[in-house]
Structure 1
Amino acid sequence: MDTAAADRPSAIYDRIGIGYSDIRRPDPRLHALIGQALEGARTVVNVGAGTGSYEPEDADVTAVDPSRVMLGQHPGVRKVKAGAEALPFADGSFDAAMAVMTVHHWPDLHRGLGELRRVARRQVVFTWDPTHRPELWLLEEYLPEIREMDRARFTSVAEVADALDAHTVTPFPIPHDFTDGFQCAHWRRPECYLDPVVRQAGSTFAQLPPSVVEPAIARLRADLDSGSWHRRHADLLGRQSMDYGYRLLVAGG
């Protein structure tokens, strides 16, 4: 197998994308925040569009993704297979460009962000900051391998904001009942991480070998059965949301 090809976003999501929309269901609170940032945009390009989560209902949206599997699940009619670094559109083609939890997959982050600025007058990017603390308990207690992987592929929000020349950076604390199953979604629902279907819908879990994941999940299951997880994290159980470093960046006009 071509190891480099296996690590590309298209290869990753061609592998994990089947059934992706069953677990990664858009959360209405994040949808409202992104919708507010896109307000007034009549034409939008969604780069790394996946299944179309968080796209505005009142705009003409063009979906761009390097994965045929993901585009096949996208409900829109304007779908383009392409990477963020070479968007096949003329300068200023769109009122806005959006990119939701995707910039960490781009082989050349700065080139991709430059393309967003080239093809659209406004840029809306939702991403995660690897420098933020506290971090999810899953990483510290069970899977530090995720921490190392995330630090290697995510760029700090400060650097992304600088590259975009973002004028607004808005924190998005994750609600305890968040419906979109990305990594921190289940911070107050640890039993969800026991489900292999839930884990498979996340690109980080999907890239770790079973020899790493399975013993860690076995330890989590044992801690849940014994009640030790709940004793260690009693402070989390009464919280309605947690700030784990997710941010919405807005640039342009």
Structure 2
Amino acid sequence: METAAGDRPSATYDLIGIGYSDIRRPDPRLHALIGQALGSVHTVLNIGAGTGSYEPEDADVTAVDPSQVMLDQHPGTKKVKAGAEALPFADGFLDAAMAIMTVHHWPDLHRGLAELRRVARKQVVFTWDPTHRPELWLLEEYLPEIREMDHARFTPVTEVADALDAHTVTPFPIPHDFTDGFQCAYWRRPECYLDPVIRQASSTFAQLPPSVVEPAIARLRADLASRTWHRRHAELMDQQSMDYGYRLVIAGG
């Protein structure tokens, strides 16, 4: 089943979607946490589904995404091209709705979250809290433009939790060998940010002009070559994981 409904701008993921699955590989530790939060559900709606990361293996999943490029890479058979703010499903139609690193892309966050509550009895949302400290060193030292972009589009987790009437908010510290290549994944592997393929799989990098990104990456490359970065961040190399503000919000039941 492949349906078009409520088309909305999806230029960012139409751009970065090609090859996205090569870099954004689901991390088993985050997968386990999301699976535990979903519990024993039979029907699941995955909003902003992308390539199907973190979906439960033993449930009937319907993927929703506004980007056809992303839907084309999704392995499932139930796919709907739509935005979160207008879900073409009846009230209480599904056991659960999941939204993994997507709510910051929604034009109307509160309307989208209300739709999750309308169509599903349980809601599981993974997002980032812009009020959390510390921030990733990349933002502080090389690309404050990413900070400006992220703070403009991410909503504080307390507001997301309130909108969902959530009963649980669980921190997820990012492991040093995290396999899903979103922005904070390489906090202990700075050389990875030098790879344009890795940067292309991140929506923040993809939306910044080369005139901003390339000089910053050149400074990072020089700091790595001179070992300046390693001297500045020696304490990170002993850490197995870092809490950079990623949270799993669980509501309903």
The TM-score by the shorter chain falls in which range?
over 0.9
**How far apart, CA to CA, are the structure 1 residues paired with 2:78 and 2:10?**
19
Task: Note if 1:226 corresponds to 2:232.
Answer: no
Contact 1:48 1:100 in 2 (8 A): yes
Task: Note if 1:130 corresponds to 2:130.
Answer: yes
Query: 3-state DSSP class of the match of 2:247?
Result: strand
Deviation sequence 1:101-145 (CA, Å, 0-9, x none) = 000000000000000000000000000000000000000000000
Q: What corresponds to 2:100 in structure 1?
A: 100
Deviating more after overlay: 52-61 vs 9-18: 9-18
| Identity among equivalent pairs (%) | 87
Matched to 1:235, the amino acid is E
With normalisation by structure 1, the TM-score equals: 0.97
Task: Note if 1:72 corresponds to 2:56.
Answer: no
Query: 3-state DSSP class of the match of 2:51?
Result: coil
Deviation sequence 1:126-169 (CA, Å, 0-9, x none) = 00000000000000000000000000000000000000000000
TM superposition shift of 1:11: 1.0
Deviation sequence 1:9-37 (CA, Å, 0-9, x none) = 51110111000000000000000000001
Q: What corresponds to 1:26 in structure 2?
A: 26
Contact 1:9 1:106 in 2 (8 A): no
Matched to 1:228, the amino acid is T
Matched to 2:119, the amino acid is V
Q: How does 1:183-202 map to 2 (within 5 A)?
A: 183-202=183-202
Contact 1:24 1:180 in 2 (8 A): yes
Q: What corresponds to 1:4 in structure 2?
A: none
User: Please, which runs of 5 or more residues in structure 2 have no aligned partner?
Assistant: 1-7
Q: How does 1:132-171 map to 2 (within 5 A)?
A: 132-171=132-171
Q: What corresponds to 2:5 in structure 1?
A: none
User: Please, which runs of 5 or more residues in structure 1 have no aligned partner?
Assistant: 1-7
With normalisation by structure 2, the TM-score equals: 0.97
**How far apart, CA to CA, are the structure 1 residues paired with 2:9 and 2:243?**
27
Matched to 1:143, the amino acid is L
Deviation sequence 1:167-197 (CA, Å, 0-9, x none) = 0000000000000000000000000000000
Q: What corresponds to 2:4 in structure 1?
A: none
**How far apart, CA to CA, are the structure 2 residues paired with 1:48 and 1:96?**
14
Q: What corresponds to 1:5 in structure 2?
A: none
Task: Note if 1:40 corresponds to 2:48.
Answer: no
**How far apart, CA to CA, are the structure 1 residues paired with 2:249 and 2:32?**
14
Q: Which runs of 4+ in 1 moved over 3 A?
A: none
**How far apart, CA to CA, are the structure 2 residues paired with 1:201 and 1:43?**
29
Q: What corresponds to 1:15 in structure 2?
A: 15
